[in-house]
Structure 1
Amino acid sequence: MPHLLIRGLSVEQVRQISSPLVNELSELCGCPSDHFVLECLHTTAVFDGEIAASYPFVEVAWFERGSEVRGRFAKIVDRHVRALGVPEAEIAFRTYREDAYYINGEPAGAGEEDLQQQMQTLRDTNARLLSQLQKARKASASDSSMSSRLRDALRE
């Protein structure tokens, strides 16, 4: 993951850009280069009753990484494809949810129930810490032997 499904380019063209493209995308996404899959899809385009050249199109299937990374990813792919002498190409993203993506029958990420449980645990911990802080502040207000630095820290 990510998977790049490429059509409208020859296998030789994709081979030519594959190493530098994947190395640059790997650095951007912060994942090893062997996590990337490039597939050349052989298609036959038809226009007005005639066989036509397939339009260069790259579909990226991945786990969402935010609009900034998505935009940079698209620019990198576009730059490498156009370096082949291709005048224009399109890139589209298909986003998978980690809890709906399975590797060897196991989900790649936490499901909604797991996330809700994690959030509740964090809320409980936050409430407990807030209670302890409030007790410490009350104690500091009534304890004249506490240093002024400690009292100021507890007020913050």
Structure 2
Amino acid sequence: MPHFRFRAVEPQTVQTLSKPLIDELQQYMECPREDFTFEYIYTTFFHEGEVSQAYPFVEVLWFDRGQEKQDAVAKVITQQVRGVIGEDVDVAVIFTALNASGYYDNGEHY
């Protein structure tokens, strides 16, 4: 854990970002590299009855690590996504804090 879900980007972008994001974010997450997961979610966005372009949307599911670390992680994600896609793109980063007692690994909660 943490788990990153990417929308409105190409799967190759997620693949490209998966290593440098771990490299830079591991210090904030304080967990082994193998605990990071990256997911590409194919999605279509609509606006006013038409298919529309969307800006990159990154959802982070994690155990809360405080506002200071959350702010730092959001900046790292934004910078790295912009580094691959383009500096002028908006990037949404949404955090969902998970409760350790509700997260199970091999039938045991944290």
Deviations 1:56-91 (A, max 9, x none): 111100001111111111111011011121511110
Q: TM-score, normalised by structure 2?
A: 0.91
Does the CA-based 8 Å contact 1:43-1:54 persist in structure 2?
no
Q: Give the number of the structure with larger relative contact order, counting CA–CA contacts within 8 Å between residues 6 or more apart.
A: 2
Q: What is the aligned partner in structure 1 of residue 48 from structure 2?
A: 48
Cα-Cα RMSD? 1.2
Deviations 1:83-136 (A, max 9, x none): 12151111010001111211122111xxxxxxxxxxxxxxxxxxxxxxxxxxxx
Q: TM-score, normalised by structure 1?
A: 0.66
Matched, 1:20 2:16: no
Q: Report the Cα offset of residue 13 of structure 1.
A: 1.3
Matched, 1:81 2:93: no
Q: 2:107 aligns with which of 97, 105, 108?
A: 105
Q: How far apart in 2 are the matches of 1:26 and 1:67? A: 17
Q: What is the aligned partner in structure 2 of residue 96 from structure 1?
A: 98
* 1:1-150 matches, cutoff 5 A: 1-84=1-84, 85=86, 87-108=89-110
| Corresponding pairs, count | 108
Q: Gaps spanning 5+ residues in structure 1: where?
A: 109-156
Higher strand share: 2
Runs of 4+ that moved beyond 6 A = none
Q: Report the Cα offset of residue 41 of structure 1.
A: 0.5
Q: How far apart in 2 are the matches of 1:34 and 1:14? A: 16
Higher helix share: 1
Q: How far apart in 1 are the matches of 2:66 and 2:5? A: 20
Q: How far apart in 2 are the matches of 1:61 and 1:52? A: 26
Q: Gaps spanning 5+ residues in structure 2: where?
A: none
Q: How far apart in 2 are the matches of 1:47 and 1:14? A: 25
Larger Rg: 1
